[in-house]
Amino acid sequence: MSDPSPGSGPLHQLRATSPPPREPLAPLGAEVGVKHRETNNSFEQACAITAWQQLYDQLLPGLFFGHVKELWLDQLQCFEEFTSRSLRQSCVVWPDAYWFGLPCPDQPGAARDGGQMGNGAIAISTGGEDFELTTPDNFRIMGLVVPQAELDEHARLTLDGGLPLSLKDQPLLQLDPERKRDFILRQRQLLIEAERSRLGPADITAYRFMRHELLDGLTELLASALPAPTQQRSLRSHWRLVRKARDFVMSQPDEALVVADLCQHLNLSRRTLQNIFQNTLGLCPLTYLKSIRLNAVQRELLSPDSRHHTVQDIAAAWGFWHMSQFATDYKRLFGERPSATLLRRAVGPD
């Protein structure tokens, strides 16, 4: 597993298929120990988790920093992620797996496809299918990715009748907040223990016990879970409209789209559009439009895969024609001048 680099992730759209997981899912001993990666922009952060496809957009102004602690236990991936600034995230995990996301307690504003992730929530996604998260400032989440067949078999062996709910139809489940908190603490302790012990290829017994402890704890949590409240359905429908708005913006990068264009494309009144964006993101549509395009510019500035090589060319490619205003807006959102970001493309990540 290599450190994240600005050229290792998709620029503006997730690919139709996930990259093959053969390398990161090699047998135990190929990659051991905890990988700890630190980043200073949302693009590098999106590239930091092994074998995922991710696109992150920073929504609120300020310098970004984040980190990922990641541990592979054969084909089970356990990680902790921290991000300092509010993000919109598009994510896909590899096929034939389940992702489970457990936001740490007391982080209001986190949502999975518009459904609020409160203290008792666990988010779920089936591998190969994209999902979206919105996360607040200073957000911390624990993640587990488990092969579907193995989780189903483990539940069959340890629970009467297996899991009571179909995970493929449940983007969010509600857990007892205290039981969820205990499981999060145990996940974090395992990461700390694995990092401190500097486990190597010969420590197969330690890895095996860690793996089974995580599987046991996860299946017990899922056995006690309830479906998300039905009122979350309207939030998910609103989030689908926000996703359509972003897709529309990304499909016309050189057009300086305005709110009226979104209203026409989505067949919504300006007032309805305003309410939907406030309910889902806490932003007005105009601020969101500008943030999405500025994040696209940042990815282009950082990525050696970009076909543009100057700040002016990249800004123009994303519909920014007033360069001084663009530079001001860019620095306000990311805390540095666009020229400083472009310079880091040449020298690589810190």
The per-residue pLDDT for 230 is: 55
Q: Are 275 and 235 in contact (CB under 8 A)?
A: no
The per-residue pLDDT for 224 is: 83
On whether residue 291 sits in a domain, the answer given is: yes
Among 197, 227, 257, the domain boundary falls at 227
Q: Are 270 and 263 in contact (CB under 8 A)?
A: yes
Domain housing 335: 232-347
pLDDT tens track for 244-276: 998 898 888 888 788 888 899 999 888 899 988
- Phi then psi for residue 133, to 5 deg, are -120, 145
Clarify whether residues 223 and 240 are in a common domain.
no
pLDDT tens track for 132-158: 999 999 999 999 999 999 999 888 888
Among 227, 255, 272, the domain boundary falls at 227
Whether this model's pTM surpasses 0.75: yes
CA distance 86 to 247: 20
Q: What is the DSSP string of 68-115?
A: EEEEEETTEEEEEEEESS-EEEEEEPPSSEEEEEEEPSS-TT-EETTE
Quote the tokens at residue 103: 């936001």
243: domain CATH number is 1.10.10.60
* Average pLDDT over every residue of 207-235: 80
Among 186, 209, 227, the domain boundary falls at 227
On whether residue 18 sits in a domain, the answer given is: no
Clarify whether residues 124 and 175 are in a common domain.
yes
Q: Are 80 and 140 in contact (CB under 8 A)?
A: yes
Clarify whether residues 241 and 223 are in a common domain.
no
Clarify whether residues 218 and 253 are in a common domain.
no
- Quick one: 42 exposed, middle or buried, by C-beta within 10 A (0-12, 13-18, 19+)? buried
* Average pLDDT over every residue of 303-308: 88
pLDDT tens track for 6-28: 555 667 877 755 444 445 444 43
